[in-house]
Structure 1
Amino acid sequence: MSSGNTGGDTRANGRVAVVTGAGSGIGRSVARALAAAGWSVALAGRRAETLTETAAEFADPAAALCVPTDVTSAERVADLFTAVRARFGRVDLLFNNAGTFAGGGVPVDELDPETWRAVVDVNLTGAFLCAQAAFRAMKEQDPRGGRIINNGSISAHVPRPHSIAYTATKHAMTGLTKSLSLDGRPYRIACGQIDIGNAATDMTARMQAGILQADGSTAVEPVMDAADVAATVVHMAGLPLEANVQFATVMATTMPYIGRG
């Protein structure tokens, strides 16, 4: 893997981001906001067509690189970062966003072990594989360093009913963030985490129809615009590497989070 800013098509500011789960929801919003802020953005996700839809709104088509990627595969993740460095020359940011809520709404005693494994594979192992590949690139390149921002969710702090797989992986994400932050210090690699609550995406549509609460009732929950999440990520990403937002919580103001349960 080559080092240095040797790739073609880099933009004037030279900042290069990788966004996983970029084909929809928060990933799409963040990718578009980064591009608007002057970043070149590699869009990673399972489906090429949704990545192309995300890139279609970039003002500069040269700022986008669409790379269909299965984040649970070490080989595919390695291919992603090889493609990014070949095109843009370096990696300055990973927004580690790909995730699944599979098995949500299923009581713990009824959760299929295969569903558990699938959630762990995407939310935790996938996040590790992407962070590892980004870490390697950031350590090797010249100038050295970069930033990793993990999407933790407020489920990194408190669970919803019947969400054991998702909640366990998001709690684990906090440990991943802390370890990356510590291990990255000698190489100017910063790592922070954004914990998001009720951004308006397809995944949270059920909240506006009514969702199970800790007391057994069902309630409609408020949501916020995903663009507000994207603005926070852009701010975190834009800091000099000497500064880091270690943890940030961005949530719909009146959602039932404080005192949940």
Structure 2
Amino acid sequence: MSILPAIHAFDTQPMRHRVVLITGGAQGIGRGIAQAVLSAGGSVMIGDLDSEAGHACLDEWQAGERAAFRQLDVSREASVQRWVKAALARFGTIHGLVNNAGIADPHQGPLHELSLATWNRYLGTNLTGAFLCSKHALPSLAAASGAIVNIASTRALQSEPDTEAYAASKGGLLALTHALAISAGPAVRVNAILPGWIATDAWQKPTARHRPKLSRRDRSQHPAGRVGTPEDIGALASYLLSDASGFVTGQSFVVDGGMTVKMQYA
């Protein structure tokens, strides 16, 4: 028998017959990931606080039985439990979870003026939400040899002033990622994506959708020559959720057009 490695045909539908749960999946990066999974042959259960946005996705996608929506508040355990239960009732299994939901505004003023309630709101949504969703989806993910993708941020690695709560919550996601990769492996792989500047203006619900206003400077400051799109994150997420990344776990991937490796002097 030959031990010569074979050339295998490239799978154009790597998510075929796979079910992926996506928090914050009705707008922005979450919607980009959901559409990437659908285009790769998978099915999605999106959860979002915004019901209008969620139902708009189903209307626009016209994906039939492969797409479902249920309102979700990731900071509330009962809401997470209902969402996971609904996904299992609809699809019967879970192959992937994308913890994307979060408070997007990083700027909250000087630390000495930051209230404990605001601090807890950031951590409760951006970090505790990922914990709760992972906790309740994990048994099904383990049974299906599934994968988790946490959406962090390059702000976990670098900061602007007055962004402590946001940065801490996203930094916590990186630690959660490698810790859970060890605890849940080898049954479940866990990785993180750190987006940089992603223009999500055109990926909102119809009533809030508009073309992004990007200047030449906005584009040129990125070594890649442009600002990112939700499709850039969706492409990597689909890979990390598929069997193609079967030897990848506990890792954090920066997708920022090269900004974090660019030396910047005033």
Flag whether TM exceeds 0.5 (same fold).
Answer: yes
Identify which range, 128-137 or 95-104, moves more after superposition.
95-104
- In structure 2, do the counterparts of structure 1 residues 91 and 179 end up closer, same or farther at CA, with 3 Å as the change threshold? same
4+ residue runs over 3 A deviation: 205-209, 255-261
- In structure 2, do the counterparts of structure 1 residues 200 and 136 end up closer, same or farther at CA, with 3 Å as the change threshold? same
- In structure 2, do the counterparts of structure 1 residues 166 and 90 end up closer, same or farther at CA, with 3 Å as the change threshold? same
CA RMSD of aligned residues (A): 2.7
Aligned counterpart in structure 2 of residue 247 of structure 1, from 245, 248, 252 = 252
- Residues in 2 aligned to 1:244 and 1:57: alpha-carbon distance in whole angstroms: 33
- Residues in 2 aligned to 1:25 and 1:195: alpha-carbon distance in whole angstroms: 15
Identity, % of aligned pairs? 29
Q: SS state of the match for residue 73, structure 2? A: coil
- Residues in 1 aligned to 2:162 and 2:68: alpha-carbon distance in whole angstroms: 37
**Which residue in 1 is equivalent to 2:191?**
192
Q: Deviations over 1:93-152 (max 9, x none)?
A: 00110010356141212212211111111001111101111212223x3xx421000001
For the pair 1:134 / 2:137, whether they are aligned, the reply is yes
User: Does structure 2 retain, via aligned residues, the 8 Å contact 1:147–1:241?
Assistant: no
- In structure 2, do the counterparts of structure 1 residues 108 and 208 end up closer, same or farther at CA, with 3 Å as the change threshold? farther
- Residues in 2 aligned to 1:19 and 1:68: alpha-carbon distance in whole angstroms: 12
For the pair 1:37 / 2:36, whether they are aligned, the reply is no
State the Cα distance separating 1:55 from its structure 2 match.
2.4
Aligned counterpart in structure 2 of residue 235 of structure 1, from 234, 239, 243 = 239
State the Cα distance separating 1:231 from its structure 2 match.
1.1
User: Does structure 2 retain, via aligned residues, the 8 Å contact 1:91–1:146?
Assistant: yes
Superposition map of 1:155-234 within 5 A: 155-186=155-186, 188-202=187-201, 223-234=227-238
State the Cα distance separating 1:160 from its structure 2 match.
2.1
2:157 partner amino acid = H
**Which residue in 2 is equivalent to 1:14?**
17
- Residues in 2 aligned to 1:70 and 1:30: alpha-carbon distance in whole angstroms: 19
Higher RCO (CA < 8 A, seq sep 6+): 2
2:239 partner amino acid = H
TM-score calculated relative to the size of structure 2: 0.80
State the Cα distance separating 1:224 from its structure 2 match.
1.5
Identify which range, 97-106 or 71-80, moves more after superposition.
97-106
State the Cα distance separating 1:75 from its structure 2 match.
0.8
- Residues in 1 aligned to 2:264 and 2:133: alpha-carbon distance in whole angstroms: 32
Q: SS state of the match for residue 65, structure 2? A: helix
- Residues in 1 aligned to 2:82 and 2:101: alpha-carbon distance in whole angstroms: 17
For the pair 1:79 / 2:82, whether they are aligned, the reply is yes
State the Cα distance separating 1:157 from its structure 2 match.
1.4
- In structure 2, do the counterparts of structure 1 residues 260 and 106 end up closer, same or farther at CA, with 3 Å as the change threshold? farther
TM-score calculated relative to the size of structure 1: 0.81
Query: What is the total number of aligned residue pairs between the two structures?
Result: 235
Q: SS state of the match for residue 57, structure 1? A: helix
- Residues in 2 aligned to 1:257 and 1:46: alpha-carbon distance in whole angstroms: 35
State the Cα distance separating 1:227 from its structure 2 match.
1.1
Q: Structure 2: 5+ residue runs without aligned partners?
A: 1-14, 204-210, 216-220
Aligned counterpart in structure 2 of residue 52 of structure 1, from 36, 55, 59 = 55
State the Cα distance separating 1:56 from its structure 2 match.
2.7
